[in-house]
A and B are shown apart, each in its own frame.
Chain A
Amino acid sequence: MIDQQYFDELVTLATSRLTGDEVVLISAHTETTDFARFNNARVRQAGSVDQTTIELDLIEGQRHTEATLQLSGDAASDNARVERTLERLREQRHAVPDDPYLIINTEPTSTHHVGEDQLPDRQAALAAITEGAGDKDLVGIYTAGGMASAFANSLGQRNWFETSTFNFDWTFYLRADKAVKNSYAGFEWDDAAFDRKLTDADAKLQALARDPIDLAPGEYAAYLTPAALEEVVGLLTWSSFGARAQHTSQSALLRLLGGQGELDPSIRMTEDTANGVAPNFQEQGFMRPDQVVMIDQGQAGDALVSPRSAVEFDLSPNGAAGDESPQSFAIDGGDLDADAALGELGTGLYVGNLWYTNFSDRPACRVTGMTRFATFWVEGGEIVAPVNVMRFDDTVYNMLGSHLRGLTSEPEFVFDNSTYGQRSSASVRLPGALLDSMRFTL
């Protein structure tokens, strides 16, 4: 990965190559990632990835073109790449019309954050994992390393946000599809904390050893762990909180926005940048406020507004990226003690994880998906047996509205484990949810 000085020097070079009234915006992602993939507690694939991409937006007046460019890490080579990219963008700009929705941050704020590198030694981490697995069937992936997001423009704004994180995302398998999913992520490896995760997973694994039962389709009371709830609300974060989606009838919260759908008054959903691990600036250099309240007391609140949507729909930008998806999504906790959740459930389903959610009726905010990993039938507040996978199909207005009995009081913080293209800096903070009923169909 590159460091801030390297990035600044590239920006200086790019700025020096501008002509006329041109302005250039440059954002960057850089990372060095160690990874080890496990199957049956053995290493399936292991290695390192070193990569740096920058995005350039070359602007003159209201006309502009954009490019993503991979850097090599060699200054002479990268300088030449940047120069050629600017030439290409300048050439393309002649072919494009004015962009009525182009907006540049007129309140430049420079920031600098470099988190301390406290990552464990590569060999020590792998040893802790294989020793922790013992003779269990462990499958998963360990990633670790430094990464940084950056923004700069030719007007003088500079933002650099660098962290060093690890994320071990793993599953203990008992047999077939009976398994316990867990994760351990953060900035500094703590053997005791990892041991507690292992112990907790092991206890659930014991419960999975009982004979599984098949449930008939129908409505059942259910407790969704924070991980299970994440699969439901994760669908909303893709497409429903953005101003563009809401103004073009694409949001799945259409009925809530129109006053025809209701969520429970205890529901408060936020883009909680202040308590997340993502940068507090987006790729065009707009700053993210500490918090954007998207749902408050069950009612629609503020949308996530990207700079383009701000102009198109006459709104104020609030630090959203172009995709208008939250990076530090949070749901406030409720009154339910997580340790008492099974007791409160009484009889019903403990759902450890859900999987492969998708909309079965988007305007109705109806979601379908599968139970996965540790899902149990509970009677009298005690786990009775694991349940074979079931398909649910229900609306968010039911699950977080009329059928919601309560939310646990201490939301869990979860680092996003996504590595599509690059390691993610997103996170979620979610409680568990106790539902009076949930609809299962297959």
Chain B
Amino acid sequence: MSTVISPSSADTLEQRFRNALPGGIDEATLRTVDEESEWLEVTRGTVQPVHSSFDSGAMVTVWADGGTGIAATSDLSESGLRAALDQATHWARATAAQAIAVAPPGLDHSGSYASPRERSWDELALADRIELLRSVEAQLTVDDRIADTQASLGRRDVRSLLISSAGGQIEQTFNFVYPMLVATAASGNDAQTRTYGRGSYCGQGGIEVLDRYGFRNAAPQIGAEAVALLEAPNCPTGTMDIVVAPDQMILQIHESIGHPLELDRILGDERNYAGTSFVTPDMFGSFQYGSELLNVTFDPTVAGQLATYAFDDDGTPATRHHLIQDGVLVRPLGSATSHARSGIAGVANARACSWNRPPIDRMANLNIEPGESTVDELVAGVEHGVFMHTNNSWSIDDSRNKFQFGCELGQVIRNGELAETVRNPGYRGISRNFWRNLSGVGNNDSFAVMGTPNCGKGELNQVIGTGHASPVCRFSAVEVFGADA
């Protein structure tokens, strides 16, 4: 971890925490986060300033007299932790009478996790990492009409430590890699942009993450497709079947399954900001969310996926669960706290973006399980439709019903065969109707493990990464449109 901040060992932090614990409280936890990151970028042929980040801090939570108080501090000395614990104790007692009661977690178990990493980031020297990016970025410019290019590479190394006054101690280390490519082709007052999965080809691991989806060789096709889009006709308009690639499916899962299943939304916590949900507590166990082809799992065990972990930020052990099985809604994305508030069993999804924000119900890895069909079979089943690739626009109402998504690139499907490329493909619908029209699910050959690195939610606001995996899927009778419709 960081050689700049030199974080203290787990044992040292635990000792300071225990020394600083105030008397008369029910329980307290210390959650520290140390993070070091590096961001490299080449834009329009120019290496942008290398940016590093060194962060370290702690959130203490105190349960006392029926209330819960929080204090976040970057001072991890014993006196700093003592001040934070006193502050949190004050908050717990000051708000106890008006608080939504949350029982102490009783965290008394221990465990650890570390990202699987085959090749350290430092195998490539900084100069070599920059040279790699310069080389890849240069390959985006395949035509004079390429007006803007960007290649970037980010890495974050994070250590989190959770210690409880009840005896528990959990230590997890994560290594994240975020590659990205962007090419914009322009002509007159028109422009089209194509990307490397709009940032979704990210994951845990080392430098080998770059090879999972061919980062080193992806640029020429991205540049060529941006130019092709400039010349392409608009997406057709009408009600038709669509086949959806994984780099669009991940947003469809995220917005119209993930967010509505977050139990804190269902309980109303997010109504002032991120929104509520059309899902109500009585739906679990019976509601037909989608067609019987739809199987959705909360799976924090997928090696290398963006939100894989062994414990959530409340210390709950993380295990795989079906949220939707054969199309029926069975389980929410609800943490232990939300479970206690609602009586509905959930998953280990209490997550915080850093030490300065408290855990809330979040997606982690939320995946659609593979089906039986090949991509050729999915396409062959469409008489007239569009194959949608790579999200570039997303919008959905606060109850997660009426959505509209735009994609970077479409391919017309005519009589079961792929035809011409079209620009500005978009589609809209209502969540439950859309998922009930799921008419085909791709097999393992088209299954892609990806992520969305920037999901915003919460008050205080938080951005966090979520993992999504999906095969290619097909939906029937969807309202499709292009730019002029």
Interface residues of A (CB under 8 A from B): 33, 35-37, 39-40, 42-53, 57, 64-74, 77, 81, 84-85, 88-89, 92, 95-97, 99-102, 122-123, 126, 130, 137, 139-141, 143, 169-171, 173, 176-177, 179, 181, 248-250, 254-255, 257-258, 260-261, 312, 355-364, 366, 368-370, 372, 389, 391, 393, 418-421, 441-442
Contact = CB atoms under 8 A, between A and B. Distances in A.
B47 interface: yes
A430 B275 CA distance: 24
B210 interface: no
B126 A95 contact: yes
Contacts of A248: 44, 147-148, 184, 186
B12 interface: no
A249 B147 contact: yes
B149 to A, nearest CB: 9
Interface residues of B, number: 84
Interface in B389-438: 393-399, 401-402, 404, 406, 424, 426, 428, 430
B51 A51 contact: no
Nearest to B483: A361
Contacts of A44: 99-100, 269
Interface in B351-368: 356-358
A139 B268 contact: yes
A437 B133 CA distance: 48
Contact of A84 (B4, B68, B428): B4
Contact of B402 (A36, A43, A260, A442): A442
A268 B394 CA distance: 29
Contacts of B460: 33, 35, 37, 49, 141, 143, 419
Contacts of A421: 461, 463
Given A364-B483, A420-B456, A441-B428, A69 B269 contact: no
Contacts of B462: 420
A326 to B, nearest CB: 19
A100 B272 CA distance: 45
10 contacts: A43-B95, A46-B70, A46-B95, A47-B87, A48-B71, A67-B4, A173-B271, A249-B148, A258-B189, A393-B404
B208 interface: no
Contact of A40 (B4, B72, B100, B399): B100
Contacts of B196: none
B98 A43 contact: yes
B298 to A, nearest CB: 23
A411 B72 CA distance: 37
Contacts of A73: 74-75, 80
B52 A92 contact: yes
A72 to B, nearest CB: 5
A88 B68 contact: no
Contact of B74 (A72, A171, A176, A361): A72
A74 B70 contact: no
A393 B273 CA distance: 22
Contacts of B186: 248-249
B272 A49 contact: no
A256 to B, nearest CB: 9
B3 A420 contact: no
Contacts of A126: 94-95, 98
A37 B459 contact: yes
B386 to A, nearest CB: 16
B398 A141 contact: no
B57 interface: yes
Contacts, number: 269
Interface in B68-115: 68-77, 80, 87-88, 91, 94-95, 98-100
B169 to A, nearest CB: 22
A129 to B, nearest CB: 9
A52 B74 contact: yes
Contacts of A441: 404, 428
B188 interface: yes
Nearest to A68: B53
Given A126-B95, A248-B186, 12 more contacts: A46-B91, A47-B87, A48-B91, A49-B72, A92-B50, A99-B46, A99-B47, A141-B273, A176-B399, A257-B189, A356-B397, A389-B399
Interface in B176-196: 184, 186, 188-191, 193
A158 to B, nearest CB: 23
B242 interface: no
B54 A70 contact: yes
B276 interface: yes
B49 A66 contact: yes
A105 B14 CA distance: 46
A179 B402 CA distance: 18
A173 B56 CA distance: 38
A181 B462 CA distance: 21
A258 B269 contact: no
B395 A250 contact: no
B226 to A, nearest CB: 11
Q: Name the 8 nearest CB pairs between A and B, nearest first.
A: A47-B70, A249-B186, A248-B148, A258-B189, A141-B459, A249-B191, A95-B126, A95-B127
Q: Which of B49, B73, B483 has the most CB of A within 10 A?
A: B49
A291 B125 CA distance: 45
Contacts of B193: 250
A47 B461 contact: no
A202 B188 CA distance: 51
B185 to A, nearest CB: 8
A169 B459 CA distance: 10
